[in-house]
Amino acid sequence: MAPSKTLKWITGGLELFLAIPVLGGLIVVNSVYTVLFFMMILHIVTLVLSVVNKEAYYGSILGIVTSVVGWIPFVGWLMHLLSGIFLMVTAAQQPRYQDRNSYDDYRY
């Protein structure tokens, strides 16, 4: 499994964990919002690896936006939920472009 897919599973799981209504909010507030900064760093690393591997990266971009607006009570909850779902969906997708051998086009 590619490192970008592994990071998508990890960040998606963490985002869904932070989307638990009371528990996620308490974790964000009690950490003095450093959890949001840590998540933003993870999303940036995931974004860079996804771009390098030519995979879908919209979940990581949504995660970065979530890290910026995650301190707003109900907006943060919705954004954590959406980014977690999108990250899990992109992690489960098969790659669209597979490496092909140029000789695959010829049949004998």
Q: Are the C-beta atoms of residues 71 and 34 closer than 8 Å to each other?
A: no
DSSP readout, 58-76?
Answer: HHHHHHHHHHHHTTSHHHH
Report which residue type is found at 30. N
If we measure between CA atoms, which residue out of 94, 34, 89 comes closest to residue 60? 89
How much is the pTM?
0.84
Q: How far apart are CA 88 and CA 47, in angstroms?
A: 14
Q: How many CB atoms lie within 10 A of CB 22?
A: 8
* Full pLDDT tens readout for the chain, 108 residues: 889 999 999 999 999 999 999 999 999 999 999 999 999 999 999 999 999 988 999 999 999 999 999 989 899 999 999 999 999 999 998 866 666 655 655 555
